[in-house]
Structure 1
Amino acid sequence: MHSDLATPLMSSAADSEATIDAFVSSIHPSFDYIIVTTAFSACLFTLFVILFALSTKESRRRLAFRLNVLAICIALVTGILSGVSNGKVIVDPFNPLSTSVFLAVIVFIIFPPLLYDSILLTRLFALYPLSSTPPFTLLKIFAFPFCIKCGRVIVITLGVRSYVGTGLTTEALIQDQSSFWFRSPYLTAEWTMQIADNLYSVSLFLYNLYIRTSPIKRTRGIAERIRQIFYISVANFVFPLMFNIAQIILVTTDRSPTAGAVVLLINNYVTVMGVLCATLWFSGSERVRTHNEPFSDHMLNSPKPNFGRGRVVREEWELNCINEEGSVTRDTTGLDIGMDPRQLTTPEKESEYILV
């Protein structure tokens, strides 16, 4: 008789354990997403505060600074939406999130890398200003990145439309994640084009940086800053490249989208933080120069600043050194190139080409 009573109890305990295991398995991906977004959003918010603390009135007027602020806001909104949607799965699993919020999370995760990559592309405008570069030259330089970005927009839009077409409810969309993720041609095409997009922008920028600054590399300070800019530019390409390759491998080999989604989230944050750290490096250097400029004569090699002889050399992140080798003027690219002294630019004109 005791054995007859023990059997239902053991069966009930086994059912309860199976139910708990199933619940833990169902919320595990959401828990991973929350950890990733919370950790990186906290880091990004801290860097955001530091960016404003180190910025100056001049730097806050520049295009790249505003784009950085926009990118940070988008990344923080992504973290908030992801936290809300995944938190609801954990604390209230029987009331699914609304379909509109779920789709908003997907859009904020997939589309923003286009903006982040465009921030890196703005450095080319420092080398080829719109006001002084022939239209045909601009067409040759920017035709490829423009076309590939349009292609990325089309591929992402088709991918989201294909995914949304599989179900009209949140439950249906969640269930179809695995089937949409595995060997998705849209995701694979997007990440492949992203690699090509970033490779073109970085390669062209570094090549022009080398060509335009090679005559002035004899100056020690300038050469050191050129090397720093080179390392920053390469790092801003290499780390997203590694994550893009990992995403392509996961989408072609792993049927579960959990690991790929985590890598995708990390890649988005790493891209924003890479651009932001470069801007912070520039802002810190400029702030130090601004405070020391009235008190340190040796930094300008003259009793007072002279925009004709001692000139500021900058790339997108910063080449903020003084050319000690004679009377040269600032080229519209923002780099030191010897020119006719009659073509001197004013400080107001110079600020148009400083994009960080």
Structure 2
Amino acid sequence: MSSATDSEAAISAFVNAIHPSCDYIVVSAAFSACLFTLFVVLVALSTKESRRCLAFRLNVLAICVVSVTGILTGLINGQAIFHPFNPVSTSVYLAAVVFTVFPPLLYDSILLTRLFAIYPFSTTPPITLLKIFAFPFCVKCTRVVVITVATHDYFGSGMTTEALIQDQSTVWFRNHYLIAEWTMQIADNLYSVSLFLYNLHIRTSPIKRARSIAERIRQIFYISVANFIFPLIFNVAQIIFVMIDRSPTTGATVLLINNYITVMGVLCATLWFSGSERVRAGSEALPEYMLNSRRPNSGRDDVAGGKSGSSIILIGRSVTHSNTVLDTEADPKQPTTLENENKHIFV
């Protein structure tokens, strides 16, 4: 009787031990399959011109990074299930942690690139670019420092994989570095999305009479909000779990899901633009009055605080090239055309 009880206890202990690893593998496998499908659709909808876009290349890089994260997650947790007494090497474990905590900086930078469509380098004064991008640049640099220090402290607590796994609970609970990182991530994304949507509203107000353009702007608004809301929910959940849950299992699962959700949000936005521009390719250009519309407050730049001339707004204009130009504020002496603009961007 005692032997049966001992066997049941051993089985229960083993199941409890591998339960977190099973959760990580299921999450990673499911979201990796979704990302692979979205990547195939992205390539299918892309054109030769759109593949030159910075956003397209960053999306491909993000997919590659999160795929590596999934592979490392599967490798570590698969080893923990099938060979619990022979864990992976410390270097592999370190790589998995790095690919989990650092890539959100890349994903958030893809969201930040939407501001380049409103403030292109070629036509925006340097002082304006400094005012706009100084805050997100400082925040991202601070996040890099915080994550680096947190990672260094974690791996300084043990030299073997077994020691690092045992110290997870101690390092996780109320880790002020992680709380600071996720709080700054919320502020970083809130700034980028708010500034983008505000300028989108200001710069497109002269063309609200065009129904198709107005509908397109509303869709851009919804996509931008969705790209912020879903990661925000998971960021708040991460902060809650790190504050109240001593076990890192649930919080690490939410962190892993958040990485996939962020990439999928940006990728879905790119897919929407790729598909819509492919369908609209070859359609007629916008009327001339829409291209030369002035901003309501053309005498002053709302962000830079300086004088500004007339603005040329290009929203969804289609020609022989299947590109997307969201809007460009051009020099009046150098009118911008879709054919001459090489720095297109997706939302």
TM-score under structure 2 normalisation? Answer: 0.88
The Cα shift of 1:286 comes to 1.2
| Residue 80 (structure 1) aligned with residue 75 (structure 2) | no
C-alpha RMSD of matched pairs (Å): 2.2
Amino acid paired to 1:161:
H
Q: Write the letter of the residue equivalent to 2:316.
A: N
- 1:13 paired to 2:4: yes
The answer (yes or no) to whether the contact 2:59–2:266 under 8 Å persists in 1 is yes
The offset of 1:102, in angstroms, is: 0.5
Correspondence for 2:299 = none
Do structure 1's residue 335 and structure 2's residue 331 form an aligned pair? Answer: no
Name the structure 2 match of 1:242. Answer: 233
Q: Is the 8 A contact 1:159 1:186 kept in 2?
A: yes
User: How many Å separate the matches in 1 of 2:340 and 2:201?
Assistant: 24
In structure 2, the partner of 1:67 is: 58
In the TM superposition, residue 349 of structure 1 has moved relative to its aligned partner by 2.2
Give the drift of 1:348.
4.0
Aligned partner of 1:282 in structure 2 is 273
SS in 2 for 1:350: coil
Higher Cα radius of gyration: 1
Q: Give the aligned partner of residue 36 of structure 2.
A: 45
Bigger mean CA offset, 262-271 vs 133-142 = 133-142
Correspondence for 1:91: 82
Q: Aligned pair in 2 of structure 1 residues 347, 338: CA closer, same or farther (>3 Å)?
A: closer
Aligned to 1:196, which of 187, 192, 217?
A: 187
Matches within 5 A, 1:141-152: 141-152=132-143
- The count of residues paired between Structure 1 and Structure 2 equals 321
1:135 Cα offset (Å)? 1.2
Q: Where does 1:1-356 land on structure 2 (aligned, <5 Å)?
A: 10-290=1-281, 293=282, 299-300=283-284, 319-321=315-317, 334-335=326-327, 343-355=334-346
Give yes or no for contact 2:286–2:317 (8 Å, CA) kept in 1.
Answer: no
Task: Report the Cα offset of residue 132 of structure 1.
Answer: 1.6
CA contact (8 A) 1:222 1:321 kept: no
Letter in 2 for 1:97: V
- Cα 1:355–1:349 change in 2 (3 A) is farther
Same amino acid, percent of matched pairs: 71
| C-alpha contact 1:243 1:267 (8 A) present in aligned 2 | yes
Task: Give the drift of 1:11.
Answer: 1.3
| SS of 2:341 mapped into structure 1 | helix
For 1:233 and 1:334, locate their aligned partners in 2 and report how far apart those are by CA, in whole Å. 13
**Residues 158 and 164, structure 2, Cα contact 8 Å, conserved in 1:** yes
CA distance in 1, matches of 2:290, 2:96: 50
Partner of 1:328: none
Task: Give, as a single letter, the amino acid of the residue that structure 1 aligns with 2:11.
Answer: I
Shift of 1:351: 2.7
- Quote the offset at 1:195 in angstroms: 0.2
What are the superposed Cα offsets for residues 194-245 of structure 1, whole Å, 9 maximum, x if unpaired? Answer: 0000000000000000000011111111000000000000000000000000
> 2: distance between equivalents of 1:199 and 1:48?
27
In 2, Cα distance between the equivalents of 1:195 and 1:306? Answer: 37
Q: CA deviation at 1:35?
A: 0.3
Distance 1:205 1:277 in 2: 18
Amino acid at match of 2:327: L
- 8 A Cα contact 1:312 1:321, kept in partner: no
**SS of alignment partner, residue 342 of structure 2:** helix
Q: Gaps spanning 5+ residues in structure 1: where?
A: 1-9, 294-298, 323-332
